[in-house]
Structure 1
Amino acid sequence: MKAVQLVGFGGPETLVVVDVPTPEVGPREVLIRVKASGVNFAETAMRQNRYAMTPPLPSILGSEVAGIVEAVGAEVEGVAIGDRVAGSAFAAGQFFGGYAEYMVCDVDFVTPVPADLSFEHAVALMVQGLTAFYLLERAPAVGKQVLVSAAAGGVGSLLVQLAKRSGAGQVIAAASTEDKRAFACSLGADSAVDYTADGWSQAVRDLTGGAGADVIYESVGGAVTRESLKALAPLGELVIFGSLNILDFNLGVPDLLGMIFQNQSVTGFATVPLLTPQSLRDGLTHLFTMAASGELKVTIGGVFPLEQAGEAHRALESRQTRGKVVLVP
């Protein structure tokens, strides 16, 4: 089969198209003929050896795919050849194999994809959709003034919609360009701010009557995280998530003093440790149903042929995309 291997650490040119044997299924595994594979910031960090774990070389990146079941193991029940499925390998702690024509996935982490939902949209609802879904369980938005950073991105564009639907008092979108801010507002954000502007936290305070946001969902890292603290209301919660925060997170004593005297909290969030086979299936089934019915808008920011995985990484790293970046065979 055709696959894209990471053959060294560095730029997108380290992603090379190769021919490798098609993987064989184990007793409780499913072989998926990949129709769409998700591209994530975490993989761009892995490519540079800047992630929380160092990938072996060579390796095939990618941990989420959607496609057609090609083969099943001897002990697999409830999944048949020809089924449309989403393979959430990341939920099983498998972070490799998705940038390929075929991928093997543990049957416990396979979810049916409705006939009226595209494979590209299914992939967009896996890592990003589950992150948005369970962020709102961990830090509910109902009745609160909330700020969503990177609001036009894969997680942000879904989080804006889900927060609004859950009953947030006000959803403020933070994004870097006028186009992205307008896009976030078209998804339901009540207002938007430019997080690249100096002192942008004051704009958040102005929009909240001087109080600041009760909950801030922050995934950009660096200076944006520090400025977010200034936009946080007393008793507020800053929820940190995403691979960019792993790459650049630095709070100092002045930041901590402000938190202490305003009774604020900084909370870390990661999706994978929360996922069991049941919670994965419940979350994805809910998201797939909403998207298929039109209740939830899924945005695809770029569809690239598998052979152009390097270009997909460049597009994602340029921060010019909206929504999800996807590879197709």
Structure 2
Amino acid sequence: MIRKQSFFQSFCKICRVLGTSADVNEILDLLIQNVIDTMDGKAACIFLADEEKDIFVPAAEKGLSKNYYHTRPKHARKMVEDILKGGHIFIYDATSDPLAGDCESKKAEGIASILVVPVMVKDKAIGILSLYTSTPRNFTSDEIEFLSAVAEQGGMALEHARLLEQIRENNKLFFSISSKINSSLDVKKVLNIFASEIAHFFDLKALTIRLLSEDKKGLQLVTSYGLSTKYLNKGAISMGRNINKVLDGNIINVKDALSDQRIQYKKEKQEEEIASMLYAPIRAGEKIIGVMTLYSGTIREFTEDEITMVNALALQGGLAIQNASLHLALKDEMKGLKDDIWSHRMWF
């Protein structure tokens, strides 16, 4: 009963900080310290999975010496999958169990047992929380449940911090693009800026903007970023089902461009090192006037947040094109008006 009360008090303390602090480092430090204190641990660490490199990277830790080297196992996805199957991983003797990895380093650090649980965000494991003890021990179901609940709170804190940072970065991008668009009415210059800004923001390999031809039977490239001349000259873009769906207002998310049956020019994409793609419609008012295509050099499934952002940016691009077009039309009308006025003057 006393142990459960200790868990409850510790968890309440964590929840209070989550409600009053937006500093993710402060929150994670508190989580780690509470885990150590409440579970009589030697040390604890939250690792986040680097999906591209497939390794674990420490995000917050306490109780380990500066000399201790965290092994960064490859196949982090496999380890997370193994943890999810049983809900946790338990190593009774980290100095001899191969599952612990680098047993000599753990022995020198004075680590005996390890308990590992997943850090979850929206039903997805984004990392792990590890507790280390100085003496060999087994863990009760209450202790495992407490550590899992703390890991869940850590996931919530990390997601909250990510969302806040994403909002800040989104605002910066919109401000940057808007200010640069407003500084010029040269549509080609505007779209070149637009393409490079978005490509850098989403860490893309490349980006293209294609607009519908006057007869609406084809797409014409108006700007590109990051693609070779050879790739751009590969051939015409077919107005097939894929493109027509985009022109109907749909986003097309292509996780693997080399195996997706909807994708043209697979050989050329492989040579260009294109792995994933995202197609977004470009709107001007009520009309869809073109397609913006994002290219990733690594296999990537764009998230809902990213897709929402791309949609908003494609709309902003459409408005920029519309504004530039109206400016050109106005210039032509003004020229015609001046010519007309001059011809009337000839009558006097």
Give the TM-score taking structure 1 as reference length: 0.24
Structure with more of its chain in strand, by fraction: 1
Larger radius of gyration: 2
Asked which structure has the greater RCO (Cα within 8 Å, sep 6+), the reply is 1
Structure with more of its chain in helix, by fraction: 2
Give the TM-score taking structure 2 as reference length: 0.23
